Amino acid sequence: MKKSTAHNRQEIIEYLKLQEALAVKKARRDFWSFCCLLYPEFYKESRWYLKELCRTLQAFYSGEINKQILIINMPPRHGKTFTARLFVLWLFGQNPGTKIITGSYNQILSGLFAQQTRDGILMENRNVKHKYFTDIFPDTTIKQGDAAKGFWSLDGSEEKNYLATSPGGTATGIGANYLIVDDIIKNNEEAVNELVKDKHWEWYNNTLVQRMERPRKQILIMTRWASDDLVGRTLERKADKCHLITYKAVQNDGSMLCDEIMTKAEYEDIISEMGDSIASANYQQEPIDLKGRLYTKFKTYDRLPEDELGNSLFEGIYSYTDTADEGSDYLCNIIWGRYMRDAYVLDVYYTQAGMEITESETARRFQNFEVNRSRIESNNGGSGFARNVRRISEEQFKNFKTVIKWFHQSGNKRARIISNATWVMEHILYPSDWRQKWPEYHAAMVRYQRDGGNKYDDAPDCTTGVAETMYKLGA
């Protein structure tokens, strides 16, 4: 006997309710499922990078990614801010006691992020296609009478749960378990403004980070405008605490990250409108100041050359010193070991300290690294520096092993740097952690521009001296 149509319809309804209940249950514990349930038209399986982004955010939350700082570099309009806002909602669903501070480049954008987050809880966002936040987390609600756009609490919380701010703004009145900074550089003008970037760094570390409480997790979402922007400085100074994910609009194989969001033709139109360097920063995560850099790669090593018994295979230990030409310039001293035709950098002394400090410190390093021969440029007081280093080496450190010679450098600095760049990239090897060991020197080398406009050239100049010394040694 056949079942009635009404009975079949009821079975279908019950089945759909069951599937819906399972989807809600899954969304509570899985962030990607949460996004798909709220916005299925945007969070599609075909958009692999969004699924990967959501998985990364959840792994960061759970501790599977055991880092304090998550850095996300993504092109505009591909969902980075949208996903960050949904992640805030999901975090509140996991624990209504969570405290979060978010920051954007001005109070308008910061307030918009906050308002949309708040409205997501209040069910005022009518773009939701399937379920609302409260359908998934019914016990998480805004506290009655405490729903200001940028500073609010959740029901049952004794403290404020959310604060929106911007560079220069305050962060008082709330601690933060999570700190989320979203695109605080406005445009290319700010990207090259050292004062603005310094203020961002100071605001982030001295205002925001000081408000942090366990688990003290930080998320930086940025377009890579400049190599020394907030992300660049964080990677440079706190690399061991960072987990970085990067998405480019145009992939290495020429395909687009998401054709539905941006086609290749649309990207080419953007290049024609804003120029290659700005487009590359926005969409390819290539900082403007690295676009025309002279050194495009650097070789590194994890182990020094040794024989099977662990004895060094270096044919000698050498040093080259470029003394500071003016008060604001850097003294740069590089010590390396020569093996075959390669220079293995052992130490870099890169400083703006005065000669009363650098003379003794340079001599100490000659002693510590057992330098065989040192070459010091005698230009602009270099000969006096060299004599004092030799005197200190012999009198204070009893070092008679290091042969210290000085000479006048008559070659054109810029021409020397450019003509030796290829050899530097092919034959000078740095320790794999040189970015952390010598951050200022690393930055000076990475950012040096082929076409000029460099504030300092002391690091490339001294590194060129290493190449020239190796030539004299038969490299």
Sites in the chain below the pLDDT cut of 70? 1-4, 6-7, 10-18, 106-108, 111, 123-130, 146-148, 325-328, 475
Q: Cα separation of 114 and 457, whole Å?
A: 44
Q: 3-class secondary structure for the chain?
A: CCCCHHHHHHHHHHHHHHHHHHHHHHHHHCHHHHHHHHCCCCCCCCCHHHHHHHHHHHHHHHCCCCCCEEEEECCCCCCHHHHHHHHHHHHHHHCCCCCEEEECCCHHHHHHHHHHHHHHHHCCCCCCCCCCHHHHCCCCCEEEEEEECCEEEECCCCCCCEEEECCCCCCCCCCEEEEEEECCCCCHHHHCCHHHHHHHHHHHHHHHHHHEEEEEEEEEECCCCCCCCHHHHHHHHCHHHEEEEECCCECCCCCECCCCCCCHHHHHHHHHHHCHHHHHHHHHCCCHHHHCECCCCCEEECCCCECCCCCECCCEEEEEEECCCCCCCCEEEEEEEEECCEEEEEEEEEECCCHHHHHHHHHHHHHHCCCCEEEEECHHHHHHHHHHHHHHHHHCCCCCCCEEEEECCCCCHHHHHHHCHHHHHHHEEEECCHHHHCHHHHHHHHHCECCCCCCCCHHHHHHHHHHHHHHHCCC
The pLDDT assigned to 107 comes to: 67
The pLDDT assigned to 402 comes to: 97
The pLDDT assigned to 329 comes to: 86
The pLDDT assigned to 1 comes to: 46
Q: Cα separation of 392 and 395, whole Å?
A: 5
The pLDDT assigned to 16 comes to: 61
The pLDDT assigned to 275 comes to: 86
- Decide which of 3.40.50.150, 3.40.50.300, 3.90.650.10, 3.40.190.10 is the CATH code for 12-287: 3.40.50.300
Q: How far is residue 385 from each of residues 120, 195, 388, measured CA to CA in Å?
A: 66, 34, 5
- pTM beyond 0.85, yes or no: no
pLDDT tens-place string over residues 109-163: 776 787 778 878 876 555 555 678 888 898 888 887 766 677 888 888 878 888 8
Residues pairing with 55 in the sheet: none
The pLDDT assigned to 261 comes to: 95
Percent of the chain with pLDDT over 70: 92
φ/ψ (deg, to 5) at 218: -125, 135
Query: For 299-472, which CATH class?
Result: alpha beta
The residues spanned by each domain of the chain are 12-287, 299-472
pLDDT tens-place string over residues 450-468: 877 788 899 999 999 999 9
State the CB neighbour count (10 A cutoff) for residue 351: 18
